[in-house]
Structure 1
């Protein structure tokens, strides 16, 4: 007697179908070339994060600078110097031998000198006017109590005498520390300060 339940499909086709169902086939969402590029981008992100973590950039305090005639309280320095006035929060960061970057002209030429003295306390604008014999117009540019750093003026780039600069007002910047680059990134940086 013949098999009454004979399939309309060939046995070979049914076998291949069943074998195909047993294999797990993953869909090709990403081509191999794109997959390599994504790993490369991930590697670049990790490397740049490591560099941003270990690299530090300087932090500067900004203030005003005035060329004055000055004599130190100990009598070790006397002459024409630059008195730089910084906000009080930078008082603890100012040290002798730090670089002071000065700009006295509109061209933006900067020159740097080492700090030779830092006043031992924060000084009021009235005390600054008396100590450095400044006129009231210059003192008005000093907003409030200030930390004072003194730097040697010479050598001067334009080969002028130091007395030619006496009374000049300019901008001063002093390096007061450093911070990691990663702390400068928006959103992420707040967690690394």
Structure 2
């Protein structure tokens, strides 16, 4: 298993080839005057620093330390996220799924790649691949194992199918040993993959 291909058989092209295609397309759009290099740089900066899983991590950390906010998040995720200034296109209707000692939630879009962009940023390539979309439903424990997470046999695995109308993401369990952590320290433990449900937050010893 490699870092860029966590689900076996899902990588149709190398990262280098994909990057080359993106650069070529950017060059064509700029040459035709359809977009400027400044606009490309701005959008890249937005998705690197302003929109991404770091926002979801902050929301999770707040839910871990604030029970009332957590309840609002589980009741109306879209509204609760707006409290923290997070929302917009591709996140109009969101539902947050809470992991517990007995239930582990995992999100997939079986038709395409519907995904809560405002909270998680752009979807990873593997999330779009047919192999993940099919295997997440047929063999969720096998997929989780490839991501390095093996839940206990008595933990129920629930698969949620995101759509353009309703986008799911996961509230992972707070790691043990974080009782004295600040919100910022807790947010550092939350990964994008744990928000999709294919993994769990980083433990303090590995952070």
Query: Would the TM-score normalized by the shorter structure come out above 0.5?
Result: no
Q: What is the TM-score of this pair, normalised by structure 2?
A: 0.25
Q: Report which structure shows greater RCO (CA 8 Å, sep ≥6).
A: 1
Q: What is the TM-score of this pair, normalised by structure 1?
A: 0.26
In terms of fraction of residues, the more helix-rich structure is 2
**Which entry has the higher C-alpha Rg, 1 or 2?**
1
